[in-house]
Homo-oligomer: A and B are copies of this chain.
Amino acid sequence: MADPRFFEVAGPFSLAEIAAMAPAEPGPGADPDARMTDVKPLDAAGPQDVSFLDNRRYIDQFAASRAGACLVHPDFAGQAPEGMAVLLTAEPYRAYARVARAFYPQPAAASGVHAAAHVHETARVAGDSRIEVGAVVGASAEIGSRCLVSANAVIGAGVVLGEDCVIGPGALLAYCLIGKRVVIHAGARIGQDGFGFAPGADGHLKVPQIGRVIIEDDVEIGANTTIDRGAGPDTVIGAGTKIDNLVQIGHNVRLGRGCIVVSQAGVSGSTHVGNGVLMAGQAGLVGHLRIGDGARIGAQCGVMRDVERGETVIGSPAVPVRQFWRQVAALTRLVGNGRGK
Among A44, A223, A262, A330, which residue has the most Cβ atoms of chain B within 10 A? A223
Chain B nearest Cβ from A174, distance in angstroms: 8
User: What separation, in Å, do the CA atoms of A94 and B197 have in the docked complex?
Assistant: 8
CB contact under 8 A between A40 and B232, given known A98-B205, A242-B197, A258-B201: yes
Interface residue? A341 (CB, 8 A):
no
Q: Which of A27-35, A123-131, A296-304 contacts B (4 or more CB under 8 A)?
A: A296-304
Chain B residues contacting A300 (CB-CB under 8 Å) are 284, 300, 302, 316
Partner of A224, one of B204, B224, B262: B224
B240, A203: Cβ atoms under 8 Å?
yes
B200, A189: Cβ atoms under 8 Å?
no
Query: Hey, what's the 0/1 contact readout for A146-187 against B, CB within 8 Å counting as 1?
Result: 000011101011100000000011101011000000010111
B263, A264: Cβ atoms under 8 Å?
no
User: What separation, in Å, do the CA atoms of A212 and B282 have in the docked complex?
Assistant: 25
Partner of A175, one of B6, B55, B152, B334: B6
Interface residue? A218 (CB, 8 A):
yes
Interface residue? A145 (CB, 8 A):
no
Interface residue? A192 (CB, 8 A):
yes
Chain B nearest Cβ from A25, distance in angstroms: 18
CB contact under 8 A between A195 and B262, given known A205-B98, A224-B187, A281-B284: yes
Chain B residues contacting A6 (CB-CB under 8 Å) are 157-158, 175, 212
User: What separation, in Å, do the CA atoms of A285 and B158 have in the docked complex?
Assistant: 40
Chain B residues contacting A132 (CB-CB under 8 Å) are 136
Q: Which of A12-20, A80-88, A318-326 contacts B (4 or more CB under 8 A)?
A: A318-326
Interface residue? A327 (CB, 8 A):
yes
Query: Hey, what's the 0/1 contact readout for A86-97 against B, CB within 8 Å counting as 1?
Result: 000001011011
B168, A187: Cβ atoms under 8 Å?
no
Interface residue? A216 (CB, 8 A):
no
Interface residue? A226 (CB, 8 A):
yes
Interface residue? A47 (CB, 8 A):
no
Chain B nearest Cβ from A287, distance in angstroms: 9
A224, B222: Cβ atoms under 8 Å?
no
User: What separation, in Å, do the CA atoms of A57 and B305 have in the docked complex?
Assistant: 12
Chain B residues contacting A186 (CB-CB under 8 Å) are 154, 172, 174, 189, 192
B2, A205: Cβ atoms under 8 Å?
no
B281, A282: Cβ atoms under 8 Å?
no
User: What separation, in Å, do the CA atoms of A288 and B55 have in the docked complex?
Assistant: 10
A286, B282: Cβ atoms under 8 Å?
no
B332, A323: Cβ atoms under 8 Å?
yes
Among A118, A286, A319, A331, which residue has the most Cβ atoms of chain B within 10 A? A331
B258, A195: Cβ atoms under 8 Å?
no
* Pairs A-B, 7 closest by C-beta atoms: A323-B338, A320-B338, A5-B158, A326-B335, A2-B210, A189-B223, A322-B338
Given A94-B205, A187-B226, 6 more contacts at CB 8 Å? A5-B158, A93-B207, A97-B208, A132-B136, A223-B228, A248-B281
